[in-house]
């Protein structure tokens, strides 16, 4: 009697990687930003890490400033090959957007929607 073994190989598809960098104090807001970006690149792996130096990955960086009366932020990005861009500043008066999940999601969506160049880059990287 001869035994045969069927060999099944899982084929892994290499998925593009996108790095998102956020200030450490913006945990909930950073998660909201990742969700807002993921809508545009559902097949990407999104990593919350600084991109390795010289990396051939798309990198989005979240910049924030907060004082008693104003919370503001903007996105910057670097595409593989080194081209860089920056979105406009979005501001929220008087609120601590970091503590409200609804406000954090709305703020993150505004950051992405006010950056059409970034949206185009995300669409092209699919």
Instruction: Name the class of domain 17-124.
Output: alpha beta
Write down the pTM of the prediction: 0.81
Beta-carbon neighbour count of residue 19 at 10 Å? 20
Average pLDDT, the chain: 83
* DSSP classification of residue 6: -
Q: Which of 82, 79, 37, 86 is nearest to 63 (CA)?
A: 86
Burial bucket for residue 35 (CB in 10 Å: 0-12, 13-18, 19+): middle
Taking only the tens place, the pLDDT of each residue in 32-65 is 999 999 999 998 999 988 767 666 888 999 998 8
């Amino acid at each position: 009697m001869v035994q045969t073994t069927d060999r099944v190989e899982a084929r892994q598809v290499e998925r593009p990687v996108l790095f998102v960098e956020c200030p450490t104090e913006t945990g909930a807001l950073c998660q909201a930003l990742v969700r807002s970006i993921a809508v545009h690149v559902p097949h990407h792996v999104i990593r919350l890490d600084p991109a390795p130096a010289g990396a051939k990955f798309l990198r989005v960086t979240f910049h924030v400033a907060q004082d008693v009366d104003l919370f503001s932020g903007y996105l910057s990005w670097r595409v593989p090959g080194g081209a860089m861009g920056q979105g406009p500043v979005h501001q929220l008066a008087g609120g601590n957007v970091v503590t409200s999940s609804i406000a954090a999601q709305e703020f993150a969506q505004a950051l992405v929607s006010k950056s059409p160049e970034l949206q185009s880059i995300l669409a092209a990287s699919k």
